[in-house]
Amino acid sequence: MKYIDEYRDAEETRRYAGALGRLATGPWTLMEVCGGQTHAIVKFGLDELLPPAITLVHGPGCPVCVTPLERMDQAMRIASRAEVIFCSFGDMLRVPGSQTDLLRVRAAGGDVRIVYSPLDAVRIARENPGREVVFFAVGFETTAPANALAVVRAKQEGLNNFSLLVSQVLVPPALEAILSSPDNRVQGFLAAGHVCTVMGYDQYEPIAARYRVPIVVTGFEPLDILQGVYMCVQQLENGRAEVENQYSRSVRRQGNLQAQQLIRQVFRVVPRKWRGLGEIAQSGLGLAEEFAALDADRRFGMPPETVEEPAECRSGLVLQGVLKPSQCPAFGTRCTPEQPLGATMVSSEGACAAYYRYRHHSQAASMAASPDRVP
């Protein structure tokens, strides 16, 4: 398939791995920010091709995984109300809150619907004027433009029965939180290419300079990732700390200015709590005052609350790159995709789910589960 196959070429992949072996003296620890990159790394066995001088750790770039417990609980309280049609992307339905999940809320009679776009929720609101339609707006900068468009559309149409439960987060403040942590061991980042397609990458330049850390905007296919690792390690070996763009077929330095304008029109920057990382200043988006009438928090009077994570789940450490999923004592025993203890085991982009899917079984079974693995 054009634009896919050439980035999965096994011969070229092995050549990059060999070049990295000659380049890296290290030891270097790099973090891929995005859960999509984590899944590609584990699925194709890219980390196992790297020389011992390079360690990859997995970052907080899975929007489902970083949505905090209390936000999940609030979603379930709203979804349980008789007058509400609660619309969400499918990944969120199995994410555990402190007591239950949205699937169980639906089984108990809640009208919880999976949608593929926030505009689907706007349509449902249009078709059901007697019901309150709430869209669960989770995600990074990638989902913000479509969510903003839904809000603008609902306001233009005068849909008084549509609102957004917002749990949008922003990548750069999370990188700063990781770099500021006393436990930090990350020396370079592979930034998420799709986020930078929207936002550009000039916002990473002050972070690279302040923390003396290379940041390489990277795509999602095996060769993208190995080239991103190569560019990052090359900087580390040469004592440089700059922002570079591996994903130039999609990303421009300034990003998509029209999408950014839409985000600025509808949202304002707010503090947000991240699952596993705690509250991070200026790390999220909330609805701007002009759109406050479409804010589900206000409409349903959701009070702020704090819920403790289950002590057994180490996803906070996994999301900071301090722990690998397989190092969690509950991995594959008390915690599986069928009975997840934490969101990183639920989400299709979660690191624990990736390790369970591609690494949990014997090597032979793992190869069978992942025929794309580079031999």
Can you give the binding site for ligand SF4, defined by CB under 6 A? 312-315, 318, 325, 328, 330-331, 335, 340-342, 344-345, 352
**CB of residue 309 to ligand SF4, shortest distance in Å:** 9
Tell the smallest beta-carbon distance from residue 48 to ligand SF4 (Å): 20
Residue-by-residue DSSP string for 115-126: -SSHHHHHHHHH
Give the sheet arrangement for strand 267-274, strand by strand: 111-114, 84-88, 132-139, 162-169, 278-287, 267-274
Q: Backbone phi, then psi, for 350, in 5-degree steps? A: -75, 145
Using DSSP bridges, classify how beta strands 111-114 and 84-88 pair: parallel, antiparallel or unpaired. parallel
**Could you tell me the two tokens for 205?**
């330049």
Measured from the CB atom, the residue of 64 and 144 that comes closer to ligand SF4 is: 64
Helix (H, G, I), strand (E, B) or coil at 281: strand
Closest approach of Cβ 99 to ligand SF4, in Å?
A: 17
Distance of alpha carbon 343 from alpha carbon 360, whole angstroms: 18
CB–CB of 118/71 below 8 Å?
Answer: no
CA distance 166 to 267: 10
Q: Please, which residue, 252 or 334, has the CB nearer to ligand SF4?
A: 334
Q: How do strand 54-61 and strand 28-34 relate by DSSP bridges?
A: parallel
Nearer to ligand SF4, 137 or 323 (CB): 323
CB of 366 to ligand SF4, least distance (A): 17
Q: Which is nearer to ligand SF4, 194 or 275 (CB)?
A: 275
Q: Which is nearer to ligand SF4, 164 or 351 (CB)?
A: 351
Of the candidates 341, 334, 336, the one whose C-alpha atom is nearest the C-alpha of residue 313 is 341
The answer to whether 31 touches 189, Cβ cutoff 8 Å, is: yes
**Nearest distance in Å: CB 146, ligand SF4:** 28
By beta-carbon proximity to ligand SF4, the closer residue of 175 and 328 is: 328
Half-sphere exposure at residue 345, Cβ-oriented, CA atoms within 13 angstroms: 22
- Of 169 and 354, the one with the shorter C-beta distance to ligand SF4 is 354
CB 344 → ligand SF4: shortest distance, Å?
4
Return the number of other C-beta atoms located less than 10 Å from residue 66's C-beta: 30
Residue 279's DSSP bridge partners are 273
Min separation Cβ 295 and ligand SF4, Å: 30
